[in-house]
Chains A and B, each alone.
Chain A
Amino acid sequence: VSSAGTLEEEIRRLIIDRLELDVAPAELSLSGHLRDDLGLDSAALLEVVAVLEEAFGVEVDLEDVTVENFRSIRTLAHYVAALRDAGEG
């Protein structure tokens, strides 16, 4: 089980790779706003959903794609951790 720190970093790396973002991981703040800072439009969030599902073997319920869960890398990591816990429990 990865710690919260590495989960956040892994999500950051996956998003940069998948969306072919022209940014170095260090430049992308873990708590920064995905939409405002990265210019990810709301439609591109489905790409983020696909990244999480493929990388972590979780199933993201579309109802969970809320502004709250998808605000930043950090909130995404919380969300993924909660999904995994639910899956294990």
Chain B
Amino acid sequence: VRRAKGGHVLLPEETTVAIVGGGPAGAIAGAYLARAGIDNVIFEREYFPRHHVGESLVAAINAVLHEIGVLEKIDRCGYVRKRGAAWVPKSGRGRFDLQVLPDPPVGGLDYTWHVDRAHFDQVLLEHAASLGSRVEQGCVVTEPWIEEGRVVGATVRRGDEARRVRARFVLDASGRGTFLGSRLRLKQKDPLFDQFAIYGHFQGVDRGEGPAADYIHILFLPTERGWVWRIPLRDGLTSVGVVTEREDFRRDGRDPAAYFERHAHSNPELARVLKGAQLVGKLRTEGDYSYSMARLTGPGFLLVGDAARFVDPIFSSGVSVAAYSAKFATEALLGVLSGAREESEALAAYEARLTAGIAIWYDFIKIYYKLQNLFTYYVRKPDYQQELVRLLQGRVYDPSEISILDRLREDIHTIESTPGHAMQSALTDIPM
């Protein structure tokens, strides 16, 4: 190991796979590669633990956590066990609870978790390191290193040290920082969604009793496209986040605390459970909402997780997309590095697979915002419930299994095209 004059370890000059970002996508990718004996370095900007939004997982992630051997470790962390979701109408009345369990129950666990991300992300990153990933924190990856149209590495800075790191592949797991997406001008703002979230952790929220006390609660607001997440965390903390259109926040005068307060109290049920609750820490905001990329791969690089695409978080899809994109991307890389697959074919296959999976989430989200009640109507019907549960579990990577979305689209068309239909005014202006 080479050291600088001050004694700290110097950044490497070369690696097989340089991973930009040590969040779940980067850490899981590093773990898959390290397990296969592929040399990789994870460059993380922060020093963990660090705060991150997105606490509720979906069941499909358990299979990935199991594959990289971290499932039991996660299970011992004491996170609140998630076995379902509840939806509360804007009136506060007529809630709907739905049990959603991992299927199959990988590792014998019939639940996934609501995690505190500062802790969870650190466990994953340390796990990758324990498998052999080299983890370098406090490193800002500033520029891709491009030779003859191929990404061959990146410039990394830590303190006074700057180094060009050469890599056979650069895996961009930089999250909503979208390192390569921005530098290579691939990023496209979503034409339909410009949402915005204000959230915080609270002590003393009335979570209710029984199994649903540990469900994620999605509460609708009278504001169009407005909703709230209520996620039970360990140590009695509850994450509460108001999601609305950014334009609405702009019009409102941009006072986050007042805005949060007003919207959180616009749903009577939320107002009730928040009575007497205390904010722990500060309210935070997240903008820079939904976007996609012109492409997810190119010569020498792949995008994974939020760096590849970000969709509205209403179905808690984020961490599972990070996990599955890391899984699929590293499968492609292992094929190429072993000489079994040709690079352009393997990367194109990865891109097609991930794009199709996220497209299902996106269509589901679009339909949901078009007419929320259509979802709760079908999810109560035994014939359709199983397919909707499969979506909510995050099993979106085999499109042939998902026909319910076609049914929902047909229904929306029927409402739009039937003269005198009583529900036309319920449809939002989202184009289908």
Contacts and interface: CB of A to CB of B under 8 A. Distances in A.
A46 B93 contact: no
Interface stretch (B198-206, B234-242, B422-430): B422-430
B411 interface: yes
B93 A20 contact: yes
Nearest to B93: A20
B94 A70 contact: no
Interface stretch (A4-12, A24-32, A59-67): A59-67
B426 A41 contact: yes
A69 B418 CA distance: 13
Contacts of A58: none
Given A50-B380, A62-B411, A62-B414, A45 B93 contact: no
B418 A66 contact: yes
Contacts of B425: 42
Interface in A27-49: 41-47, 49
Nearest to B415: A62
Interface range on chain A (Cβ under 8 Å from partner) = 20 to 34
B271 interface: no
Contacts of A62: 411, 414-415, 418
B93 A21 contact: yes
B374 interface: yes
A21 B371 CA distance: 22
Contacts of A65: 415, 421-423
B373 interface: yes
Given A20-B93, A63-B414, A44 B373 contact: yes
27 contacts: A19-B93, A19-B94, A20-B94, A21-B93, A42-B425, A42-B426, A43-B423, A43-B426, A44-B89, A45-B426, A46-B373, A46-B374, A46-B377, A50-B377, A50-B380, A62-B411, A62-B415, A63-B421, A65-B421, A65-B422, A65-B423, A66-B418, A66-B420, A67-B422, A68-B420, A69-B422, A70-B422
Interface of B: 89, 93-94, 371-374, 376-377, 380, 411, 414-415, 418, 420-426
Given A45-B423, A63-B414, 6 more contacts: A62-B415, A62-B418, A65-B421, A65-B422, A66-B422, A67-B420
